[in-house]
Amino acid sequence: MKKILVPVDFSKHSEYALEAASKIAKQHKAKIVLLHMIGISDSVLANSEIAEEAEAKYFLKLAKDKINEFTKKKYLEGIPVDSIIQNYKDFEEVNQVALEQNCDMIVMGSHGTSGLKELFVGSNTEKVVRSSELPVIVIKAGSSGFDVKRMVMACDLEKEAIPVYRKAEAFAQLNNASLEMVYVHSAGANFMGRDDVVERMENFKKELGKEIDIHFYDDNSVERGILRYCFERNADLLVIPTHGRKGLDHFVVGSLAENVSNHAKIPVMTIKI
């Protein structure tokens, strides 16, 4: 790991993410790239070129000053830090910036959402999780305790999740952390009998080419079951695959990875299948 992208809006949540990223960076001797989106409105951009240039310079200087103040953290000492400032368009563009900067991971904070706001608006974190081709770690609370010793990966045991497991396993090894798998058994359209689940577990291990422990957990909801299992196991980091659904498919079907990352209290790492 060489570069970690951290989107920041100077809130306490993005500071939590920055501190968590600093710990990862120190472990891997990596560089941190800060991304701040200014968010100049269309009304400003519609002004004359002279007014637009003056306004842009003002916001740019303001952002630079904030970044300089924001990065005066003791935990950043010894870590190379670059910063990128661009006008806000859509948080799905974070993926493009990460790829252009040859980053290996995105770490960002999240306020979380609930109710009608979540249904109709969603969150910026969800947009990044949905669109990112890189692993994304979502931080919800103060990262002073971001010390990954026990990781849990939750998935449906389909073969397509095997590359995700390998990436999670590599991250666990780099952090000297344990990694365990869980399958949440829940009634619904995709309900399977226990024997069928056991068969799928064996097929997953066979395809993986190694023996691993896969835990079976019953709950009325897959999302709730994942969160409860992590709580009971005192997990430090949850890993969950994502398909990165977009458009109408995303609106109708939803994404388990986005929902879990939005509601979990512990850090969540999403990895695109």
Going by C-alpha positions, the residue among 111, 170, 138, 134 that lies closest to residue 21 is 138
> Is a pLDDT exceeding 60 seen at residue 198?
yes
> Is a pLDDT exceeding 80 seen at residue 58?
no
Q: Which tens digits make up the pLDDT trace of 125-163?
A: 778 888 889 999 999 866 556 789 999 999 989 899 999
CA separation for the pair 107, 125 (Å, rounded): 10
Asked if the domains at 1-141 and 147-273 fall in one CATH topology, the answer is yes
Answer yes or no: CATH 3.40.50.620 is held by domain 147-273. Answer: yes
- Top-level CATH class of 1-141? alpha beta
CA separation for the pair 141, 264 (Å, rounded): 10
Percent of the chain with pLDDT over 90: 44
3-class DSSP string for 186-220: CCCCCCCCHHHHHHHHHHHHHHHCCCCCEEEEECC
**Domain map (residue ranges) of the chain:** 1-141, 147-273
The answer to whether 40 and 88 have CB atoms below 8 angstroms apart is: yes
CA separation for the pair 163, 170 (Å, rounded): 11
> Is a pLDDT exceeding 50 seen at residue 254?
no
The answer to whether 107 and 21 have CB atoms below 8 angstroms apart is: yes
CA separation for the pair 270, 273 (Å, rounded): 9
The answer to whether 204 and 159 have CB atoms below 8 angstroms apart is: yes
